[in-house]
Structure 1
């Protein structure tokens, strides 16, 4: 069991800068997992809250190992996510999550939290249970089977992003030469709107994923790009 400190920041367009969302947007907790997993769970819970409140915007979760919030340069995990107007739209003719919560629980988060506490579940799970339908937004990811180095590819390995490889992708990749006996062949993944030429690409396919997984891939891309820029500056 580890102990982490977190902070939830929102991007404020008027100042074009990040700032803590409110006084309740920070805390310290024990957690059975990694800092990255903890940041992802906080993001998922906050995302569900924002859907229920019909709020749009950009947020980030910063996590530090231990009891103390430190500088942003010293974070142990970072998770970025957005809520758009598209996310708030009904899916398949169903009412928005906020409307369902309003009917089921009076549209008050304290009642949602009471239900979560009573049933010993997370807030996001409580909302999912109450709405009884899956309304999580999705996004297309492009998967590539690659042989050899591809340093200019705007894509990352799924393990680096911290996402699981879907069974359908595993089977598809195996049919295109991915196997443990050939370490030169591997998988890369990227959001569809970020996809481009991949050196050494054997085959590619597109599969719908959760927005949470897509955000993890985008986060990993940003980190790799930052590391590449830092390395270029040192050698330049």
Structure 2
């Protein structure tokens, strides 16, 4: 893993993509941390709002994987980030909002953005952007937020970055050996609004259904008027 630390970047995913294209002839795995990200972005057209001192990072893996594994990549990253946070902060349990946001008591703490390079129906490389509200609580009309500093004063953003980079590299090196059935069952216990009626937005269409679980492929399973339906992408409202 090659590490890149910056005081400020415009966008960590774009910066690590640039480094990989121009300076990474050996196709090493890359990890990038910025003390300040000025133009963060989330899924779709969403912005990621952060201040200097928040956790903004990206990880790039030059690894070939089947395109069908994208959902498993997502739940693996979510699972490892939650477990790392719970190891660092004792007696606190975090939740996740499908597909890839981390919450505490229905307040958003962190978000994950995964981007891939695809050729011939195969993933050639993937970028994992991770943002954590470390010192700030951004204000939104439709959600409340929480910051990591409220749980502990003893966690360093940079130390958390190094811990996460080592964990992700180890898990992607052994990607094929993971028990995703067991992993998905554990995440189902932590998913927000389990067994409740939710709305899922997909391609500007809204589906109402009871949230049942996350399956071993990373899909969200809803019980709707049509029976059990499986969603591999979308946004839970």
How high is the TM-score relative to the length of structure 1? 0.30
Higher helix share: 1
